[in-house]
């Protein structure tokens, strides 16, 4: 183990945190979306459409949580804890997490859950764990390449990207869910990328023409490369990198 690594682990054992000069990447994965992506307007927040996209992405994120050894271990530990014990871990941080792990192993440190309507949301990138997100999006749409911010039949691209951002994050309040929305058997809990879209620190969009749909269609095909970075190393978030 290098002196730097020893220094990191010593800081984590003493305080549960290690400050970084700049964010470092912990995880990278890819999401795919093929379906409608309408433009958000002043009179229509596209709540129903955002949740439909959220459900599509949830299925892929659930697979990520089930197949990643670290994330799968976190989820099994989280499910094994009583609700009141979960709250203790989810509200603790830093050195307190280290103490709790010694008293109650194995226990999750990464998961933070949120209740919105009938759903329990678990975002991967959370402010509490000093995590950030960078996105690289291949945006295939029924328009010629270029004209990123021009208004066309399907709507201007920046407002369509806003709909995508909101679908990548959990709802900020119950009103951001469709009325009477309920989880199905595979959506308990529901996984999403972000706690809030303020945690997106970089975005690159490459626009190309989607050739199998008519011009003006709101259908898109998106390849979303997600880079999860840590602004500060903690006992919890280091687990993402294994």
Can you give the pLDDT at residue 186?
93
Can you give the pLDDT at residue 149?
52
Check if the beta carbon of residue 157 is closer than 8 Å to that of residue 207.
Answer: yes
For residue range 167-224, what is the model confidence (pLDDT) as tens digits?
999 999 999 999 999 999 899 999 999 999 999 999 999 989 898 888 878 899 999 9
- Using CA atoms, how far residue 136 sits from 57, 157, 202, 210, 222, in Å, is 16, 15, 8, 18, 10
The beta strand positions in the chain, using DSSP E, are: 17-36, 114-116, 119-125, 131-141, 190-194, 200-209, 219-234
Whether pLDDT at 51 is above 50:
yes
Whether pLDDT at 152 is above 70:
no
Check if the beta carbon of residue 156 is closer than 8 Å to that of residue 38.
Answer: no
**Cα dihedral sign, 3-132-119-115:** positive
Quote the CA–CA distance of 232 and 94 in Å, as a whole number: 11
Whether pLDDT at 226 is above 90:
yes
Can you give the pLDDT at residue 105?
44
Average pLDDT, the chain: 84
pTM: 0.85
Q: How confident is the model at residue 34 (pLDDT cuts 50, 70, 90)?
A: very high
SS3 category, 31: strand
**Angle, CA of 8, 74 and 76, to the nearest 5°:** 155
């Amino acid at each position: 183990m290098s002196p730097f690594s020893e220094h990191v682990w010593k800081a984590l054992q003493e305080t549960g945190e290690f400050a970084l000069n700049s964010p470092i990447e912990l995880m990278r994965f890819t999401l795919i979306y093929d379906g409608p992506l309408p433009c958000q307007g002043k009179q229509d927040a596209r709540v129903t459409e955002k949740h439909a996209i959220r459900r599509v992405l949830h299925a892929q994120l659930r697979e990520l949580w089930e197949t990643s050894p670290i994330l799968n271990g976190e989820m099994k530990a989280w499910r094994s804890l009583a609700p009141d014990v979960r709250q203790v871990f989810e509200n603790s941080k830093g050195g307190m997490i280290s103490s709790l792990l010694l008293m109650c192993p194995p226990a999750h440190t990464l998961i933070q859950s949120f209740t919105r309507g009938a759903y329990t949301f678990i975002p991967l990138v959370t402010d509490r764990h000093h995590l950030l997100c960078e996105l690289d999006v291949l945006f295939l749409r029924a328009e010629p390449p270029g004209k990123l911010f021009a208004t066309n039949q399907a709507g201007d691209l920046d407002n369509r990207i806003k709909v995508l951002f909101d679908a990548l994050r959990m709802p900020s309040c119950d009103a951001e869910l469709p009325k009477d929305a309920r989880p199905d058997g595979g959506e308990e809990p529901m996984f999403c990328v972000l706690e809030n879209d303020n945690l997106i620190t970089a975005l690159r969009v490459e626009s190309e023409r989607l050739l199998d749909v008519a011009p003006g269609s709101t259908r898109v095909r998106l390849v979303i490369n997600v880079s999860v970075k840590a602004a500060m190393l903690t006992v919890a978030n280091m687990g993402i990198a294994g």
